Amino acid sequence: MSDPLATLSTLLAPIFAEINGGEPSDPTVRPSDRADAQINGALALGKRAGLNPRELAQQIVDSGVLANVASELEVAGPGFINVTFAAAFLQVQLAEVVTDDRLGVAQAVNAKRVVIDYSAPNVAKEMHVGHLRSTVIGDSLVRMMEFVGHTVSRENHIGDWGRPFGMLIEHLLDLGEDVASEGLSQGDLDGFYKEANAKFKDSEPFQERARARVVLLQSNDEDTLVLWRRLVEMSNDYFNRVYNKLGVLLTDDDLAGESQYQSLMKGVHQRLEEQGLVIESDGATVVFPAGFKNRDGDPLPMITKSKTGAFMYATSDLACVVDRVERLGADLMLYVVGTPQANHLQMVFEVCRMASWLTEPTQAVHVNFGSVLGADGKMMRSRAGDSVKLVDLLDEAVERADASIAEKNPNMAAEERGAVAQAVGIGALKYADLSTDRIKDYVFDWDRMLAFEGNTGPYLQYAHARICSIFRRATIERSAVRDAPIVLGHAAEKALAMRIMGYPSAIDNTLDSYSPHKLCTYVYELASDFSSFYQECPILKSDEPMRTSRLALADLTARVLEHSLGLLGIVAPEEM
Ligand code: ARG
């Protein structure tokens, strides 16, 4: 274990348990502004054991358990213990991080099979910024969960089935495949959908064709399925272009659209019936999940089958849970889906619990997120008032980054600048999204996200690039300093080292609530600590062995920066 705070907890556990009559009692170790750490646990323990917390704190100090760890221990206030770590102790712990490819992050003790449901755009409909959020948050959760050792299935639950496909297929036939494909795979999905919809409204014969087509689709008519597949492929081409530009892990192998659950719904519904969970209501079939009420306080039904006998979105999500639990053996399912679907998902989960498809310790979690807003504080729209075309947004991010790098670093060769602009533009966009608490809305603001100062993607990438440039200037390979001992003499060195050693806890905290913004905050603090160190501690100008020690600390910082940005799906260029 290389996190000094965690080491403190471990060292304190036995004495806390002893005083507590053999039962564990949390030492409650926290970061502190006054010292390096604060132990708060004597207060709760004192209360429980009927002892004076200050005396108890003193007893813990006098016991000598922290003798090798702390250079200073002070009992303060009602019974806190302020801890100043001994440099020698921190140096030993830091040396462990240096030699560790995982930078101190342990593998999860109980590795799980995790399904992450994310991205999930709808076929022949524009992918909106909400899908962007889901894609970016989901991608980073996948990377983190895999890194800590879980087995992750990525599932892209695209909306590729349902009534609109009747009119969409007929519209495809009217246009001809070539014309349709030009629009759809280029991202004019809204146009296609709107045209189909307009025809459906205006033309009686088209309506009839559309209805007949839905029936054919639902009865798996082969010619209809061929057309349907073409439509899905065209949309997927577009989605894949967006994913490529974004640099996320999703591929065609991760597609698990609504259509895949159609054949399972009948069986799942039958199991609900056998358990006596469904009820006829106004001709439809419904389940009443426990604890859900409408505005009048009456039980809220979840419709599983419509009056016309069609299964619903909710039914396909039920089938989906069953499939994930029973076929994939999921222990944990994360649904990275916008907040508006909270009620839908909670009802689905509750019905699954009632049917015993979702039983402890298997868990389903709605990893919800807020909206992306325009400068006017309303849902983000393009200038024409349509939803924003995502490829355009991504291209604009890269163009803007390119322009600002050209200005800041005019000496960079054009070819190199292309790749860097890609990393910086996309990184800025992702970081802006990930760094706000996901449950909140945020305002999309080009200037803010692309700024080189503040809590932004470019600032963090720049911190990394700056370290790389120190080594370039000194013509030293970064790997060449990794055997050198790091001496923590200056307060800024110590603060930076402690931050580096806090990386495992930062990942833990992030995954405790599936909140990537916590990791973002950590990376920002790391970059800020480096910046203070860089200001206060000369590196190349100092004498040996301090020079090499500081280079080694800088190299380790860059490794953690690159790695943590990587977990956020952000590339860290060596030069900017
Ligand atoms: N396609 C849906 C939408 O765009 C999101 C699907 C989310 N996943 C799920 N299992 N329901 O709103």
| Distance (Å) from CA 156 to ligand 1 centroid | 9
266 pLDDT more than 70: yes
Inter-CA distances, 330 with 151, 280, 342, 424, Å: 9, 32, 21, 36
Q: What is the pLDDT averaged over residues 7-35?
A: 93
Alpha-carbon span 558 to 465, nearest angstrom: 8
Report the nearest-CA residue for atom 5 of ligand 1.
120
Q: pLDDT value at position 160?
A: 95
Q: Which atom of ligand 1 is nearest to the CA of 341?
A: 12
CA of 159 to the centre of ligand 1 (A): 7
Is residue 204 one of the residues assigned to a domain? yes
**Nearest Cα residue to atom 6 of ligand 1:** 120
Write the single-letter amino acid at 569: G
Contact between 53 and 46 (Cβ < 8 Å): yes
Q: Look up residue 497 and give its two tokens.
A: 């080292």
The per-residue pLDDT for 345 is 98
The domain tally of the chain equals 2
Ligand 1 neighbours by CB, cut-off 6 Å? 117, 120, 122, 157, 159, 317, 320, 335, 337
In a domain, 302, yes or no: no
Q: What is the predicted pLDDT for the residue at 385? A: 63
Q: Examine the pLDDT at 341 and tell me if it is beyond 90.
A: yes
Q: Residues, the chain, total?
A: 576
> Does 1 have pLDDT greater than 70?
no
Q: Is residue 17 part of a domain?
A: yes
Structural domain ending residue among the three candidates 38, 63, 85: 85
The answer, yes or no, to whether residue 383 has pLDDT greater than 80, is no
Could you tell me the distance, in angstroms and rounded to a whole number, from the CA of residue 383 to the centre of ligand 1? 27
Nearest CA to ligand 1 atom 9: 157
Q: Report how far residue 115's alpha carbon sits from residue 335's, in angstroms, rounded to the nearest whole number.
A: 8
CB 114 within 8 A of CB 331: yes
10 Å CB burial of residue 420 (0-12, 13-18, 19+) is: buried
Q: Do the domain assignments include residue 276?
A: no
pLDDT tens digits, one per residue of 28-58 = 999 888 899 999 999 999 998 899 999 999 9
Average pLDDT over residues 329-335: 98
The CATH number of residue 47's host domain is 3.30.1360.70
Mean pLDDT is lowest, of 346-355, 378-387, 441-450, for 378-387
- Which residue is it, tokens 């209360």? 47
Q: Which residue range forms the structural domain that includes residue 212?
A: 164-249
Q: What's the confidence (pLDDT) of residue 443?
A: 94
For residue 115, report the distance from its CA to the centre of ligand 1, in Å: 14
Q: What is the mean pLDDT of the chain?
A: 94
pLDDT at 474 over 70: yes
- Strands 284-287 and 302-305, by their bridges, are antiparallel
Please report whether residue 52 resides in a domain: yes
Task: Please give the number of the atom of ligand 1 that sits closest to the Cα of 317.
Answer: 10
d(CA 106, CA 504): 7
DSSP result, 501-557: HTHHHHHHHHHHTT-HHHHHHHHHHHHHHHHHHHHHS-STTSPTTHHHHHHHHHHHH
Of 227, 249, 271, the domain-final residue: 249
- In the reported structure, the alpha carbon of residue 339 is separated from the centroid of ligand 1 by a whole-number distance in angstroms of 11
How far apart CA 44 and CA 50 sit, in angstroms, is: 10
End-to-end CA distance of the chain: 35
Among 125, 157, 235, residue to substitute to test ligand 1 (most atoms within 8 Å of Cβ): 157
Give the torsion sign (CA, 227, 228, 233, 235): positive
In the block, tokens 């199991």 appear at: 271
Distance 158 CA to ligand 1 centre (A): 7
In the block, which residue shows the tokens 């600590």? Answer: 529
Query: Which residues pair with residue 338 across a beta bridge?
Result: 369
The pair of structure tokens assigned to 435 is 């760094």
Confidence category of residue 185, pLDDT binned at 50, 70, 90:
confident
Q: How far apart are CA 18 and CA 272, in angstroms?
A: 52
Q: What is the DSSP letter of 255?
A: B
pLDDT tens for 539-558 read 999 999 999 999 999 999 99
Give the rounded distance of the alpha carbon of 423 from its chain centre: 18
- For ligand 1, mutation pick of 337, 345, 348, 366 (most atoms within 8 Å of CB): 337
pLDDT value at 186 more than 80: no
Give the Å distance between the CA of 321 and the centre of ligand 1. 13
Name the residue of 258, 324, 335, 341 whose CB sits within 8 Å of the most ligand 1 atoms, as the mutation to test its pocket: 341
Residue 388: predicted pLDDT? 75
Residue 285 lies in a domain: no
Residue nearest to atom 8 of ligand 1 (CA): 157
Listing DSSP states for 417-478 in one string gives HHHHHHHHHHHHHHHHHHTS-TTS-EE--HHHHH-SSSSSHHHHHHHHHHHHHHHHHHT--G
Q: Give me 427's structure tokens.
A: 């990184």
What's the 354 CA to ligand 1 centre distance in angstroms? 22
Q: Which amino acid belongs to residue 356?
A: S
CA of 320 to the centre of ligand 1 (A): 11
SS3 2: coil
Of the two residues 384 and 325, the one the predictor is more confident about is 325
Ligand 1 centre to CA of 293 (Å) is 23
Ligand 1 mean position, distance from CA 568 (Å): 22
Distance, C-alpha 370 to centroid of its chain: 14
The ligand 1 atom at the shortest distance from the C-alpha of residue 338 is 12
Burial 495-515 (b: 16+ CB within 10 A, else e): bbbbbbbbbbbbbbebbeebb
pLDDT of residue 455: 97
Last residue of a domain, one of 85, 107, 133: 85
74 CA to centre of ligand 1 in angstroms: 54
* 126, 387 contact by CB (below 8 A): yes
414 lies in a domain? no
Query: Ligand 1 mean position to 218 CA, how many Å?
Result: 20
Sign of CA dihedral 466, 467, 471, 477: negative
**Lookup: tokens for 205:** 């014969």
Alpha-carbon torsion 226, 227, 228, 229, what sign?
positive
* pLDDT at site 297: 92
- Closest atom of ligand 1 relative to the 130 alpha carbon: 4
Nearest CA to ligand 1 atom 2: 120
Q: Judge whether 304 and 322 are in contact, CB under 8 Å.
A: no
Interior angle at CA 477, CA 497 and CA 425, nearest 5: 75
pLDDT-derived band at 208, boundaries 50, 70, 90: very high
Q: Is residue 220 one of the residues assigned to a domain?
A: yes
CB burial of 268-281 (b: ≥16 within 10 Å; e: otherwise) equals bbeebeeeebbeee
- For the chain, give the longest Cα–Cα distance: 90
